[in-house]
Amino acid sequence: MDQTKEPAPDLSAFLASAVHDMKNSIGILINFLETNLPELAPDAQEKAAPMLYEVKRVNDNLIQMLAIYKIGNRFYPFDLVENSIGEFVREIAEQNKTLLEYSGITLDVDCDESLTWYFDHELISGVICHALNNAMHYTKDRLRLSVKEEDGELVIRVEDNGSGYPNSVLEAGNAVSKGVNFSSGSTGLGLYFSSMVAKLHNNRGRTGGIFLENGGKFGGSCFIMRLP
């Protein structure tokens, strides 16, 4: 039989059910690691902690690919609602608490508690968790998450005290913010996702964006997202 005549399967149906299964499994893995890490002996803890980092990367990538697929096909239910910045930042800090502790990294949080802002909770939380996870990889021992209003825009900064982004990443970030298309490795996926999410956020003629630079409060790399 001619193989080319075989009809292509409807991948989207598989995708949805596969994601459903994978998310259940990842949830249980993350929860298992977070509950059981404290009970391990110190040297075992040191060996097991990076597994949590790896599982979170899998989760990030899954979220990113699914969102990109859906946004591209005009199926993503973009849920623009008012979020309390205090609550949002607390949730993010709490979600990353275990990993930070075991990696010996301090997270400084600097935000305007009383502020509220319109954005899609799932997408922005996906972008920020991904940025934090990245920064954990590059930092020495300290991160800073700041969320402030500047010129009528919400500015979210993730900064670290590492040695900063290499030039290639800065260039990729620069290209993305100028709308240039590129594709290379996992930096590519993360940046593409973050930039796509930022651009979905519009208000009265202004559009969101992401920016990469070196410097910030600790002199390391800074991931910046601006939302109108």
Main-chain phi, psi angles of 185, to 5 degrees: 60, -165
**Closer residue to another protein (CB): 132 or 212:** 132
Q: Which two tokens stand for residue 204?
A: 């009265």
Q: Which two tokens stand for residue 163?
A: 């040695």
Residues 163-192, interacting with another protein (CB under 8 A):
none
Tell which one of 57, 61, 68, 91 touches another protein (CB under 8 A): 91
Give the residue from 141, 133, 122 showing the smallest Cα distance to 30: 133
- Using CB under 8 A, which of the segments 3-11, 45-53, 80-88, 164-172 binds another protein? 80-88
Report, in Å, the least distance between residue 145 CB and another protein: 11
Binding mask 124-143 for another protein (x = CB under 8 A): --------------------
Contact 100, 136 (CB under 8 A): yes
Binding mask 188-227 for another protein (x = CB under 8 A): --------------xxx-----------------------
Q: Which residues contact 16 (CB under 8 A, 6 or more apart)?
A: none
Instruction: State the Cα–Cα distance between residues 186 and 20, nearest whole angstrom.
Output: 23
The answer to whether 155 contacts another protein (rule: CB under 8 A) is no
DSSP class of 80: -
Binding mask 7-46 for another protein (x = CB under 8 A): ---------x--xx--xx-xxx-xx--x------------
CB atoms within 10 A of CB 112: 15
**Closer residue to another protein (CB): 70 or 148:** 70
Q: What share of the chain is helix, strand, coil (3-state, %, to 5)?
A: 55, 20, 25
Report, in Å, the least distance between residue 226 CB and another protein: 16
Residues 96-115, interacting with another protein (CB under 8 A):
97, 107, 109
Number of residues that bind another protein (CB under 8 A): 39
- Per DSSP, the chain holds a count of helices (H) and strands (E) of 7, 9
DSSP class of 39: G
Report, in Å, the least distance between residue 116 CB and another protein: 8
Instruction: State the Cα–Cα distance between residues 122 and 25, nearest whole angstrom.
Output: 19
Tell which one of 49, 60, 64, 76 touches another protein (CB under 8 A): 76
Instruction: State the Cα–Cα distance between residues 155 and 226, nearest whole angstrom.
Output: 5
> Which residues of this chain interact with another protein, rule CB under 8 A?
16, 19-20, 23-24, 26-28, 30-31, 34, 59, 66, 70, 74-82, 84, 87, 90-91, 93-95, 97, 107, 109, 116, 118, 122, 202-204
